[in-house]
Structure 1
Amino acid sequence: MILYLHPDNPEIRKLTQISQSLKKGGVFIFPTDTVYALVADANSKEGTEKLYSLKNMPKNKPISLLCRDISEASQFIEHLPNQTYKMMKKFSPGPYTFILKANKNLPKPCVIHHKDRHIGIRFPDHIYLQELLKIHDGPLTSTSVLTNDEYLTDIDDLELLYGQKVEGVIDGGLLQVEMSTILDCTEETLKVVREGKGFSELGIENI
C-alpha cells in the first residue's frame, strides 16, 4: 500500500498512525537522504526480525539505528570521541553512518545482531523520517531496500514487490542511488569504511 505525506508538512495524524504500527511490530518502507529503506522500531523484536526476513539478511549482519538527534543517540553509546561529537554536531542530519561502541542500553532486538557491541548511528536528512522520529518514542532501525543486488528507487517497483509484505510504502518520488558515507568512530582515530554521499564535505582522508 502506497502512502502519501505532504512533502513540506507531513501530517502528524498519519505519522502517529505509522508510529503506532511500528510499535506493534510493523515495517514500513521510507525514502531517506540516500535510498529507500525498510524501517522498524528498534525496540520491537517482531519488527526487527521481519525486517531481516524481508531482506533475507543473515542474523549477524548489523543494521543502523536511526535517532532524532545526538542527545537520543548518546543514550546508546559507550564512548563518544570528541572528534566524532564535533563531526556529528556539524554534519547532522546528513547521509552519514557513524559506527560507535554501544552500551548496555542498546535496544534488546539490536543486541542479537550486534555481537561486537558496535552500532551504526544515523541521523537521516529527510523530512518524513525526521518528523516521525520527533513523535516516535525511541529509535528506529533500518536497512536499505536491495533486491537482486539492485537498489529499488521507483515507488511502483517497491509497491509491486513489497506492497503486500509491509504495512506501507511511503512515496518519496524517484530517488537516486547514493549510499551513505560510513565512518568507524570506535577508536580515537577515525577511519573511513565507505566513501559515499557527502564524503567530500567532511574534508577528511581515508586512513
Structure 2
Amino acid sequence: MARIVKIDPDKPQEETIEEAARIIKDGGLVALPTETVYGLGTNALNEEAIRKIFEIKGRPPSKPLSILIGRKEDLKQYVQEISETAQTLIEKFWPGPLTLIFKTSSLMPDTMKSENNSIGIRLPDCRIALEIVKASGVPLACPSANLSGKPSPTKASQVAKDLGEKIDLLLDGGETKIRIESTVLDLTTSPPTILREGALKREEIEEVIGKVLKGKTILLVCTGNSCRSPMAEGFLKEMLKGKKETKINSCGTIFSSFGGPTPQAIEIMKEYEINISSHKTKSLSKDLIGEADLILIMERKHRERVRELNPEAENKTFLLKEFAGDQENLEIRDPIGLSDEVYKEVAEEIKSALQKALPSILEYLGK
C-alpha cells in the first residue's frame, strides 16, 4: 500500500511538497488533490513514467493524458502557438477548471501527444497541485486517479481503494472543492470544440469568446461489453478517425466477469488491424446514458434496460441495424461462448451495419 500523508490544502507542508516533487521528477507516481478531482501525477517528460500511468489505470493509449503547469508563463514551452482566443480564455479562467487543447511543441514526448499532435493543458486552482508542479520543475501528466471507466475520485479513500497498491505516494488533502472534472476545450478547431463539459459550463465560455461547438458522444450497448459493443466501438473509432470531437464509448447491460474483451473478440479484431485488447468492460449507468447523444444497441432487450435507468433516453436509443436502414433481422446475436466462426460472422455483421449507418450517424450528430 502506498504511503498516505495528510496535507493541509491551505498551507501545504513544505517537506511533503518536496517529497512528492522528488518522486514525480524521478518518474514515480503520486496521487494528489486538485480543485476538481484527485489526479495521478508523474513527470510528463518521462516516457517510462507515462507508460506506467496507462498500465495501472488500464487506460487505452488512444486516450492521451493532459498536463498541469504551475505558471501561465510556462505554457509557451509546451505549445506551438498561443492564439488570441487562448489568451482571452487564460486571462479569464486560469487558474481554474478549464483544460485547453493546443498543438504541442517538440518538447513533449510522443507518449503525451494525440494522433493530431495536440495536448491538453491546465493551470489548476489548487495550492497543493501548484506547489508540487513548481517544486518538481516539470509538467505533471495528471489524469484522474482512478481505474479507467470508474468514477473520478474526490476523496483520498477512493484513490486508496483503486490504486493504493500501485502508486508511490497518496496525498490526502480532504475532499476536493469542486468535485467534478475540468471542462476540456479544443482550440485546434474553429470554432473551438468542447470535448467534455465539466465544472465550467458552455455558456460561461461563450460569454467570453463567442460560439463554441459541443462534441458529441455515441454509446454502443450490448449485454456484457465483452464482445459485440467493444468490437463495434473499435470499428466506429476507425471509421471516424480524425473526428476527435466525437467520443465513442461502449458498455453492457449486466456486469461482465471478463474485465475486458473475450480472447475471440480480440483475435477477430486483429484481423481488421484494430486493437481492442486494452478495453475495460463497463456497465450501463445513468451517467453514461446522460452523456450520450446517440445510443446504439444490439438487441431489443437492451432498450428496456436503457428505459429502466432513464426513460427520457428512449428517443435517442436505436437498434444498430435499425439505424442502418435494415427492415428485418434487426438484432445482432451474442457470440459469447460460441465458435470462432460465429465471432467472425458477428464482427462482419457489425462492421457492415456501421458502414451502412455511418451517413445517418453523421447526420444525426450534426443536428
Q: Do these two structures clear the TM 0.5 threshold for a shared fold by scoring above it?
A: yes
Shift of 1:15: 1.1
Q: Is residue 92 of structure 2 the alignment partner of residue 70 of structure 1?
A: no
Shift of 1:159: 1.9
Q: Any gaps of 5 or more consecutive residues in structure 1? A: none
Residue 99 of structure 2 corresponds to 97
Q: How does 1:20-99 map to 2 (within 5 A)?
A: 20-99=22-101
Q: Is residue 128 of structure 2 the alignment partner of residue 117 of structure 1?
A: no
Contact 1:27 1:168 in 2 (8 A): yes
CA distance in 2, matches of 1:65, 1:152: 18
SS at match of 1:3: strand
Contact 2:86 2:187 in 1 (8 A): yes
1:23 is matched by which residue type in structure 2? K
Q: Any gaps of 5 or more consecutive residues in structure 2? A: 214-367
2:195 pairs with one of 193, 196, 202: 193
Report how many aligned residue pairs link the two structures: 205
Deviations along 1:60-79, one digit per CA (max 9) or x if unpaired, are 21110111122111111112
Shift of 1:188: 5.0
Residue 138 of structure 2 corresponds to 138
SS at match of 2:142: strand
Percent identity at matched positions?
Answer: 28
Residue 11 of structure 2 corresponds to 9
SS at match of 2:184: strand
CA distance in 1, matches of 2:16, 2:145: 22
Shift of 1:10: 1.1
CA distance in 1, matches of 2:103, 2:160: 36
CA distance in 2, matches of 1:125, 1:169: 19
Contact 2:23 2:30 in 1 (8 A): no
SS at match of 1:166: coil
**Runs of 4+ displaced beyond 3 Å:** none
Deviations along 1:105-147, one digit per CA (max 9) or x if unpaired, are 2245424xx3321000111111100111222212111111334
CA distance in 2, matches of 1:33, 1:190: 24
CA distance in 1, matches of 2:175, 2:132: 21
Cα pair distance change 1:158/1:191, threshold 3 Å? closer
Structure whose residues are more often helix by fraction: 2
Deviations along 1:149-175, one digit per CA (max 9) or x if unpaired, are 322333223223322211111112234
Q: TM-score, normalised by structure 2?
A: 0.52
Q: TM-score, normalised by structure 1?
A: 0.89
SS at match of 1:150: coil
CA distance in 1, matches of 2:138, 2:153: 27
Contact 2:66 2:112 in 1 (8 A): no
Deviations along 1:36-77, one digit per CA (max 9) or x if unpaired, are 111111112222111111110112211101111221111111
SS at match of 1:146: coil
Structure whose residues are more often strand by fraction: 1
